[in-house]
Amino acid sequence: MFGNITQGDNNSRCGINLHFTHVFLPPVYVCVFVVGTLFNMWGLRSVWLAWNKIGSINIFMLNLGLADLQYLFTLPFLVAYYARNSHWPFGQPFCKVTRFCFNLNLYGSIGFLTCISFYRYLGVVHPMRVMGKISSRHSLLISVLVWLLVIVQILPDVFFDKNNTTNQNACFDTTSNERMREYLPYSLGWTLTGFAVPLLIIILCYGHVVWILAKKSNINPLLKQRSLKLVLVLLLLFSVCFVPYHIFRNLNLQTRILKQDGICRPGFRHVYIAHQVGRCLACMNSAINPLIYIVGNDKFLITLHRFRDRTRESLTNITHAVFYRNTSPSLGRL
């Protein structure tokens, strides 16, 4: 159970491990920046080259890539911040812009992944009803709506302080100690509307899609394979990148409030570390999202399958040659 503790106990039992943050975050951000930038630029190029083949989903993929790139370009500043022991030299306005870009990327990604999932659901479950009725104009309007909804959700975050009165050079990812009690209800509501509701929509869509694919045998094999791979990619994104971040962000805010009330447990330190890991996993969605381009690109999948078949054939020939070479002397002595 929680108990009242003295300030000395608080420092010894609930002190956060800032050294872990300064050592862990910079190399992760550097890797995500390099991999994510290269893969997203390649993905956007793939979307552009296959513009007429992917269909209306290509607009969502384009927006997904743009959401990733605008966040990735802020990572060098965060690397400098954490490498300098949480000293932010770029001013509070730009700090808020940087945190805004992270949230815009995170919830923009969730929004566009939800749109892609719903379109895939319509294409598999109701192909005749939507044939010729969904145009690029519809996708463009939906994209604008997604951006507006995301901005409305995350805009209040800009009005929360990102530093403490005792540390004006900080750049918190949530808010200062003085405003945590106001921030937690906002964070919980934000988690519900920006994460839980889209996740429920995706689960319902792909639950029905998987059921249809398993039930019907006359569905195009390529469409079936692409849909199942998209399910796997989305499961990876949500289970690895999004779920831990939202759980531990809110838990960490709650522990900060409890510590202000003089309530502490040694486990609070683990919650803080889990929150930092969750932040890294969340930013990794910018490097994983390009998998959506691969799944949605028929030409790439066909090329990948041909490469797999050629590799398998080559390995088989090599195995047979080695086996024949090793057994030939024995056969010759018979």
What digits encode the pLDDT tens for the residues 98-127? 999 999 999 999 999 999 888 888 877 887
Classify burial at 301, counting beta carbons within 10 Å of its beta carbon; exposed 0-12, middle 13-18, buried 19 or more. middle
d(CA 256, CA 259): 5
In a domain, residue 263? The reply is yes
- Determine the average pLDDT of the residues in 282-303: 73
In a domain, residue 332? The reply is no
Q: Is the pLDDT of residue 307 over 60?
A: no
- Determine the average pLDDT of the residues in 17-36: 91
- Determine the average pLDDT of the residues in 228-246: 85
Q: What angle do CA 71, 293, 112 make, to 5 degrees?
A: 55
Element spanning 4, H or E? strand 3-4
Q: Is the pLDDT of residue 176 over 50?
A: yes
Q: Is the pLDDT of residue 203 over 70?
A: yes
d(CA 304, CA 101): 34
In a domain, residue 132? The reply is yes
In a domain, residue 223? The reply is yes
3-class DSSP state of 164: strand
Residue owning tokens 């890991």: 277
User: What is the tally of structural domains in the chain?
Assistant: 1
In a domain, residue 315? The reply is no
Percent of the chain with pLDDT over 70: 78
Task: Show the domain range for 148.
Answer: 3-310
The residue ranking higher by pLDDT, 15 or 185, is 185
* DSSP for residue 238: I
In a domain, residue 106? The reply is yes
* DSSP for residue 174: S
In a domain, residue 330? The reply is no
- Confidence band, pLDDT 50/70/90 cuts, at residue 165: confident
Q: Is the pLDDT of residue 219 over 90?
A: no
At 126, which CATH number? 1.20.1070.10
In a domain, residue 334? The reply is no
Q: Is the pLDDT of residue 26 over 90?
A: yes
